């Protein structure tokens, strides 16, 4: 009784004024609002429940003085950390379920969005961020500062209080959107990560992340046994190698009992792997899986493999992995990038989805905008990811979407997962661009519920991020009603977000063009990029194949026949020039410049109009944002305004570079009703090797 | 009789094919056409008449086998080198008159323009180019390569055959448009120019120029007697100084008997002058004039004087020179820049015009585009110069235009003259930009006949420069009729030229804004330019005077009262905000940001729309030029296309820089129907100190 009384905590929170603070973006969608009083009733005590109480204290926007009852009990309708909520109750199987329920309830209070379902189960069990962070603190394809986890120099492994504070903020942000795992280092992994000093630091990170339900994982280098273990081989079937891994994994779990497992990039882009020893991906993955099995650890094994051979790069992952289907342990999951190439502005889904039927498979999305304008261009990625998740693979008949092929509903698989390559760094606002925060948010939200619409996620994010309840820092303080805010800010800004990814596609690579960047920065245009010394599948020429006849990669039967990897009726639809979706036309076909498209205009004219449309959309975004000024604090207003200007300049460069370059093949004029290029091709060839026109 | 027979030369010229050559622009408006045979009848032999014959041989486009009779006889209806022409005769007082008549006749043949007057007299006697060329070969404000006359290094004074060939081409070009004088060196003159080696080179140049009627002049440094003469002073009233100049001038005329005289920048921008010795401009000019008088030499004395005192810079030249009116010798002519400041994109005429009634006064125009986009921006200057020449000073009642105030028709003056600061250099096309050739052409044509319209000069120039008779080098060879060429090329290109100066004004300095460049390059925008160390009349802040209330330089009675220097009724018209021409509004008034202009919009909105309109016009020029492609040889097509792209980028920079900077004072939004800036103000402040966004 006494225990129970103690346990039933009655918390009274006085309404207090939190002075509005400078909006440097560090709080993302978790800004302090003026909370109302709430009485929290719960029988449970735990670090996670402490977090729950604290969040309610800081964020309750429900009725003043309400009572909220938190109930933890087994309920078969709830999976893992799912929950049920009403305005006054949260019920879950686990403490974490309660925490997710609280974040959901607070989000609904702040956004006015009430979803009609009572049961809220996650789409994927494992919702994992992949950090491409290197031990020296740099981040591969990171555009928001140095690593949150690693740093360069003396005492780089010492754990400070400010480290812990930052990691806690990080964990909270992830938990608030449902993310429950973090791979702490780059897939191009350093073997050092498995040494004692680094593992101790992983342990320290894990301790901070644990109460927020965020499991830690690490990327491993497959040749670690020979690189740091003193062995003469890293052959996965070698007894000493197996033993080394067993010992290493034992050491890890001693430090981190709930360690998640390994992410492995092996036999890929020069990384060592089982093929170096004549073994298969299955041999390699299974060896690790067996060692992890006793601890419930998993292996996320990447399928991002391709060689510089004559086979179409887009086909290679499928060719390597489909023959291995059924050979993987049940705690191995194959991590597959959304498209068959590499996170391009638009790709068709990878044909591995749905094709691996006896092997767990997980999507790898890229949150960091490696190919989408880094942290300079505004690109809200929900529409791209939804397009991917909703794609029908037809592998088990109509309706076999990528989402269903991976969430366990279509295939029997022990684990389900989704990963996203993080866009975080030490920048105050975490992601470099305020609107890039929305992609972190979106990844979590879709990982939790892949049925959410792009529009709904944008709606939530805008409401939370630019809350009209916290406008103390805006430069002008208009007397606006909610309607005013909605009509003049929420709706146009949301529309800008929803249009933004397609705008980037338009001015970078419309109609299925892909990978025509200038060299390795993956930022500026480089359709001409093709130095002799560079392997051809790393050049733009390989991908666009422009010549005097036309442009595009013929992947039909007359070409690489990549379409064979897709199931019918999709295969036939893609194969036929007339039925292939125009937004993927040049992905699958080499199309004559004068080919008449559905609007009656030639391909060349369509290209010109599309590039131009991309530029015009960015200009439109600028107008929308400038008009949003009264509703945004000045810090974020000017940051985004400046980035949109930069994006405008860059979009113009993309348009000019691609049209002027391709015009050398088409020999057709840019339609004269379009604005003319404002750059010379030769200048662009020089300047776009770096970030073009980017002063900063 | 024998002599006469000999003298009457009958030249039969066979029609011969001149193979069409690469259009690198070197031939300007004097491209070889396929000439017809003409029989030339003339009683005169002279180097000039030899040129006449040669031009007819190379260029006759009249009836095949016609006879052209050249008659030299005194005719009181003809002034100096004026002429009368019919399709088969040319009559003049002088050999040069015949030469000008030939160029006029050939021009009419090639352009199809027949003017209804028979007598063709020059508006100004002296039509002079001022070359701001330094002895080391550099050119102040030159954007087309090094000097035609001077070079750096060893043997720099040696005269080569290629020097003579170039000077001859130069002389021919000038003669073809009526220019008859060249000041061979910079007004910021080196005293070295008066030393023997340099004078020998002037002699060599004069010998080449002479048969084309182009007199040589030089700029002198007023302190030459002390700098190179070994005297302790250069006081113009000092007997030794006077003697030194007499000797020097004697030396010059021994070398060059038809030497034109001196151009003098004295007591101006740090140059020495009579005021250094307590003497007046009249004392200085008259001393030189007296020494030149025996040889019929003249002094062109510049009125470009201002000090860093509290008086409005725009007033200072008037204040200094009007009190001296009547004190100058009759072989002195005061050279006055068109506007009271310094060749700005738009200025009102200098109030000295018409105000000096007993002193000869000559306009100084600037052909080189110091303040109009150098040789990058397309700016056809005829409309600007016509606006100036046609301005009514009202000094002798209505109709006292600047032209009439300077050509001798309004005031009794012994010499009349006009000068233009040359835009020539060693670039193959002479002027850097193909369309900048039109300004050289225009200066000559207007100097000869200031009543020609901008439209007519453009029409002539386009027809001569992009002759449809010589399209062998065009990339495509359309089957065009003359109508086709006229509708698709001549008319739009002419319109582009006619709109081009106003476009530059729009995107640089609309509504009478002036001198808001970034520092001394006079290229990019710098409305913020105002370093502490720089004298204030050399900063932008001095000129635009933007503050929270408004923008513009109050030159009315409540301000500097510069309007007092203008005659009524102009003075009252300019003084009154409501009647002041809007294109000079901010020149004369400090105007509130929210002042309602004639179109009902505020000044701020008008500024924004005007800057935007300037950018849009350049984009329109790009379209016009791109559509002109079939009618232009590829060399000049791509050159101009590239420059227009650069101009577009620069125009955008101007718009963004000025609007973003002035917005800091107006605190008003850029109207939301306008395209937003694509640059950040802070970046522009850094980058526009050099040529912005100009890769080359």
Task: Spell out which residues of chain B touch residue A683, defining contact as CB-CB under 8 Å.
Answer: 695-696
Chain A residues within an 8 Å CB radius of B679: 645, 649
Nearest to A693 by CA among A473, A546, A557, A524: A524
Spell out which residues of chain A touch residue B675, defining contact as CB-CB under 8 Å.
619, 622
Which residues, numbered 161 to 190 in chain A, qualify as contacts with chain B under a Cβ-Cβ cut-off of 8 Å? none
pLDDT digits (tens, 9 = 90+) for B553-585: 999 999 999 999 999 999 999 999 999 999 999
Enumerate the β-bridge partners of residue B89.
B69, B86
Q: What is the pLDDT of residue A8?
A: 41
Q: Tens of pLDDT along B162-183?
A: 999 999 999 999 999 999 999 9
A672 closest CB neighbour out of B623, B652, B670: B623
* Shortest CA distance from A625: residue in chain B: B676
Does a structural domain hold residue B459? no
Nearest chain A CA: its distance from B485 CA (Å): 18
Beta carbons within 10 angstroms of residue B36's beta carbon = 16
| Closest in B644, B652, B683 to A695, CB measured | B683
What rounded mean pLDDT belongs to chain A?
Answer: 92
B645 and B521 share one domain: yes
Q: Percent of chain A scored above 70 by pLDDT? A: 93
Best CA proximity match to A654, nearest among A526, A495, A497: A526
Query: For residue B600, what are the domain limits?
Result: 510-553+590-687
What pLDDT does residue A33 have? Answer: 72
Q: Which two tokens stand for residue A432?
A: 């470099």
Facing residues of A183 across strands?
Answer: A130, A217
CA torsion A528→A648→B687→A521, rounded to 10°?
Answer: -40
The answer, for A622 touching chain B at a CB cutoff of 8 Å, is: yes
Percentage of chain B exceeding pLDDT 90: 86
* Residues of A whose CB is below 8 A from B696: 683
Please check whether residue A634 touches B, CB under 8 A: no
| Minimal C-alpha gap between B464 and chain A (Å) | 27
- What residues in B contact A693, CB-CB < 8 Å? 693
Mutation target to probe the A interface, by most A beta carbons within 10 A, among B663, B676, B680 is B676
Determine contact: A675 vs chain B, CB below 8 A: yes
In a domain, B548, yes or no: yes
Pairwise CB contact (< 8 Å): A677 & B645: yes
| Spatial contact of A363 and A353, defined as CB atoms under 8 Å apart | yes
Q: Collapse the DSSP code of A183 into the 3-class scheme (helix H, G, I; strand E, B; otherwise coil) and give the result.
A: strand
The predicted structure's pLDDT at residue A14: 26
B300 and B167: one domain?
yes
What band does A468 get if pLDDT is binned at 50, 70 and 90? Answer: confident
Q: How many CB pairs under 8 A join A and B?
A: 61
Residue with tokens 């060879």: B477
A342 catalytically annotated: yes
A642 part of contact set with chain B, CB < 8 Å: yes
Closest Cα in chain A, distance from residue B525 (Å): 17
pLDDT at residue B480 tops 80: no
B217: domain CATH number is 3.20.20.80
Q: Do A89 and A226 fall into the same domain?
A: no
How high is the pLDDT of residue B31?
Answer: 86
Q: Which of B298, B279, B340 has its CA nearest to residue B574? A: B340
CB contact under 8 A, B695 and A686: yes
| Minimum mean pLDDT range among A28-32, B138-142, B596-600 | A28-32
Higher pLDDT, B114 or A64: A64
pLDDT of residue B688: 66
Is B627's Cβ below 8 Å from some Cβ in A? yes
A contacts of B687 (beta carbons < 8 Å)? 695
CB contact under 8 A, A627 and B672: yes
Verify whether the Cβ–Cβ distance B672 to A623 is below 8 Å.
yes
Boundary of a domain, candidates A451, A466, A481: A451
Tell me, yes or no, whether B61 and B133 share the same domain.
Answer: no
Inter-chain touch A619–B676, beta carbons under 8 Å: yes
Q: In terms of CA atoms, which chain A residue is nearest residue B681? A: A642
The answer on pLDDT for A499 being more than 80 is yes
Same domain as B187, residue B106: no
A635 and A548 in a single domain? The answer is yes
Residues A408 and A445 in one domain: yes
Answer yes or no: do B695 and A676 touch at CB < 8 A.
Answer: no
**pLDDT tens digits, A49-63:** 999 999 999 999 888
Query: Touching check for B669 and chain A: CB below 8 Å?
Result: yes
Q: Which of A638, A641, A670, A678 to mutate to test the interface with B (most CBs of B within 10 A)?
A: A678
**Cβ of residue A473 closer than 8 Å to a chain B Cβ:** no
Same structural domain for residues B144 and B112?
no
A487 within some domain? no
**How high is the ipTM of this complex?**
0.89
Q: Are strands B83-86 and B89-92 parallel, antiparallel or unpaired?
A: antiparallel
Check A269, A547, A626, A664 and give the catalytic one. Answer: A269
Mean pLDDT, all residues of chain B = 92
CA angle A13, A17, A18 (to 5 degrees): 105
Q: Which of B643, B678, B689, B690 to mutate to test the interface with A (most CBs of A within 10 A)?
A: B678
Q: How many domains does chain B have?
A: 3
Residues of B in contact with A672 (CB under 8 A): 623, 626-627
**Quick one: pLDDT band at residue B113, thresholds 50, 70, 90?**
confident
Q: Which of A370, A392, A499, A639 is catalytic?
A: A370
B679, closest residue in chain A (CA to CA): A645
Q: Which DSSP letter does residue A372 get?
A: T
Which of A420, A451, A482 terminates a domain? The answer is A451
**Short-list A247, A135, A153, CA closest to A191:** A135
Q: Does A536 touch chain B (CB under 8 A)?
A: no
Domain presence at residue B458: no
The reported pLDDT for the residue numbered B695 is: 35
- Which H, E and C letters describe A448-505, residue by residue? HCCCCCHHHHHHHHHHHHCCCCCCCCECCCCCCCHHHHHHHHHHHHHHHHHHHHHHHH
Which tens digit of pLDDT belongs to each residue from B519-535? 888 999 999 999 999 89
Tell me the per-residue pLDDT of B366-402, one tens digit each, with 9 for 90 and over.
Answer: 999 999 999 999 999 999 999 999 999 999 999 999 9
pLDDT score recorded for residue B171: 98
Put simply, whether B616 touches A (Cβ < 8 Å) is: no
B675 and A626 within 8 Å at the Cβ level: the answer is no
CA distance to partner chain B, nearest, from residue A672 (Å): 6
Cβ–Cβ below 8 Å for B677 and A645 = yes
Which of B623, B652, B679 is closest, CB to CB, to A676? B623
CA pair distance B618, B507, nearest whole angstrom: 9
Among candidate residues B71, B100, B119, the one where a domain is terminated: B119
Region A629-636 average pLDDT: 94
pLDDT tens for residues B33-70?
778 999 999 999 999 999 999 999 999 988 889 999 99
pLDDT confidence bin for A467, thresholds 50/70/90 = confident
Q: Is position B494 within any domain? A: no
pLDDT greater at residue B18 or residue A87? A87
Closest partner residue to B676 (CB to CB) among A626, A680, A696 is A626
- Asked whether residue B479 is assigned to any structural domain, the reply reads no
B535 and B628 in a common domain: yes
Coil vs helix vs strand at B67: strand
pLDDT digits (tens, 9 = 90+) for B392-434: 999 999 999 999 999 999 999 999 999 999 999 999 999 999 9
Nearest to B680 among A645, A652, A669 (CB): A645
B137 and B114 part of one domain: no
pLDDT at A17 exceeding the cut of 60: no
- Residue of B627, B676, B696 lying closest to A672 (CB–CB): B627
* Residues of B that are catalytic: 269, 342, 370
Q: Locate the chain A residue with the closest alpha carbon to B675.
A: A619
Contact B90, B84 (CB under 8 A): yes
Contacts of B469 (CB under 8 A, 6+ apart): B33, B34, B110
The answer to whether A680 contacts chain B (CB < 8 Å) is: yes
Residue A112: predicted pLDDT: 80
Residue B10 has pLDDT above 60, yes or no: no
Q: For residue B621, give the nearest of B443, B377, B385, B430 by alpha carbon.
A: B377
- The shortest CB-CB distance from A649 to any of B627, B672, B678 is to B678
pLDDT in tens, A98-141: 999 999 999 988 888 766 567 999 999 999 999 999 999 999 99
Instruction: For an interface test with B, give the residue of A637, A646, A671, A680 to mutate (most B CBs within 10 A).
Output: A680
**Any A CB within 8 A of B677 CB:** yes
Q: Are residues A369 and A393 in the same domain?
A: yes
pLDDT at A23: 81
For residue A520, the model assigns a pLDDT of 83
A584 within domain boundaries: no
Residue B118, Cβ density class (10 Å: 0-12 exposed, 13-18 middle, ≥19 buried)? exposed
Q: Which of A342, A364, A392, A554 is catalytic?
A: A342
Q: 3-state SS of chain A: helix, strand, coil percent to 5?
A: 40, 10, 45
For chain A, percent of residues with pLDDT exceeding 90: 86
Domain CATH number, residue B26: 3.30.379
Q: Do B645 and A695 touch (CB under 8 A)?
A: no
Q: How far apart are CA A659 and CA A636, in angstroms?
A: 34
CATH (domain of B516)? 3.90.1330.10
Residue of A170, A185, A199 lying closest to A134 (CA atoms): A185
> Are B285 and B422 found together in one domain?
yes
Of A619, A642, A676, the CB nearest to B619: A676
For A250-298, write each residue's pLDDT tens digit.
Answer: 999 999 999 999 999 999 988 999 999 999 999 999 999 999 999 999 9
Position A562 in a domain: no
């Amino acid at each position: 009784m006494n225990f129970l009384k103690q346990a039933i905590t009655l918390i009274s929170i006085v309404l207090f004024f939190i002075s509005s603070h400078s909006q440097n973006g560090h709080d993302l969608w978790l800004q302090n609002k003026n909370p109302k009083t709430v009485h929290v009733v719960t029988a449970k005590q735990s670090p996670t429940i402490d977090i729950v109480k604290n969040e309610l204290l800081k964020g309750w926007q429900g009725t003043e003085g309400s009572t909220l009852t938190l109930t933890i009990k087994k309920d078969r309708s709830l999976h893992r950390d799912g929950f049920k909520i009403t305005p006054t109750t949260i019920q879950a199987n686990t403490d974490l379920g309660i925490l997710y329920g609280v974040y959901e309830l607070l989000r609904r209070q702040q956004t006015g969005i009430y979803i009609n379902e009572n049961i809220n189960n996650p789409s994927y069990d494992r919702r994992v961020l992949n950090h491409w962070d290197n031990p020296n603190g740099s981040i591969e394809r990171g555009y928001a500062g140095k690593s949150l986890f690693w740093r360069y120099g003396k005492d780089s492994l010492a754990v400070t209080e400010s480290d812990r504070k930052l990691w806690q903020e990080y964990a909270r942000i992830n938990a608030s959107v449902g993310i429950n795992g973090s791979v702490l280092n780059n897939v191009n992994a350093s073997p050092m990560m498995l040494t004692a000093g680094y593992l101790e630091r992983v342990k320290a990170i894990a301790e901070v992340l644990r109460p927020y339900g965020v499991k830690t994982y690490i990327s491993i280098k497959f040749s670690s046994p020979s690189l740091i273990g003193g062995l003469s081989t890293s052959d996965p079937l070698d007894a000493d190698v197996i033993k080394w891994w067993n010992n290493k994994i034992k050491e890890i779990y001693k430090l981190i009992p709930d360690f998640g497992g390994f992410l492995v990039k092996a036999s890929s882009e020069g990384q060592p792997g089982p093929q170096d020893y004549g073994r298969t991906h299955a041999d390699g993955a299974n060896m690790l899986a067996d060692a992890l099995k006793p601890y419930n650890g998993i292996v996320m094994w990447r399928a991002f493999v391709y060689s510089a051979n004559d086979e179409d790069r887009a086909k290679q992952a499928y060719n390597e992995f489909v023959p291995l289907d059924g050979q993987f342990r049940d705690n191995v999951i194959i991590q597959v990038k959304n498209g068959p190439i590499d996170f391009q502005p638009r790709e068709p889904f990878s044909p591995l989805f749905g094709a691996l039927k006896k092997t767990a498979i997980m999507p790898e999305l890229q949150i960091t905008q490696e190919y989408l304008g880094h942290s300079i261009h505004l690109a809200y990625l929900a529409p791209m990811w939804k397009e991917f998740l909703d794609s029908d693979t037809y592998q088990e008949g109509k309706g076999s979407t990528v989402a269903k092929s991976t969430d366990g509903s279509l295939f029997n698989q022990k684990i389900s997962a989704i990963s996203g390559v993080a866009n975080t760094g030490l920048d105050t606002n975490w992601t470099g661009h305020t609107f890039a925060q929305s992609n972190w948010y979106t990844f979590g939200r879709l990982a939790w519920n892949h049925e959410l619409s792009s529009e709904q996620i944008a709606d939530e994010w805008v409401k939370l991020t630019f809350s009209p309840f916290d406008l103390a820092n805006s430069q002008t303080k208009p007397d606006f009603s909610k309607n005013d805010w909605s009509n003049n800010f929420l709706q146009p800004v949301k529309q800008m977000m929803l249009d933004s990814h397609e705008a980037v596609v338009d001015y970078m690579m419309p109609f299925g063009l892909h990978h025509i960047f200038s060299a390795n920065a993956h930022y500026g245009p480089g359709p001409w990029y093709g130095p002799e010394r560079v392997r051809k599948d790393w050049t733009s020429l390989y991908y666009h194949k422009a010549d005097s006849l036309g442009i595009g990669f013929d992947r039909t039967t007359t070409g690489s026949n990549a379409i064979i990897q897709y199931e019918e009726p999709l295969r036939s639809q893609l194969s036929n020039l007339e039925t292939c979706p125009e937004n993927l036309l040049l992905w699958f076909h080499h199309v004559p410049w004068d080919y008449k498209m559905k609007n009656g205009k030639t391909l060349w004219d369509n290209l010109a109009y599309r590039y131009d449309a991309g530029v015009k959309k960015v200009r439109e975004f600028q107008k929308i944002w400038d008009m949003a000024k009264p509703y945004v604090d000045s810090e974020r207003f000017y940051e985004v305004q400046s980035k949109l200007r930069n994006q405008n300049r860059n979009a113009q460069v993309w348009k000019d570079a691609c049209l002027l370059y391709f015009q050398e093949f088409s020999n057709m004029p840019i339609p004269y009703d379009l604005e003319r290029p404002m750059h010379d091709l030769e200048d662009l060839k020089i300047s776009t090797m770096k970030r073009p026109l980017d002063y900063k």
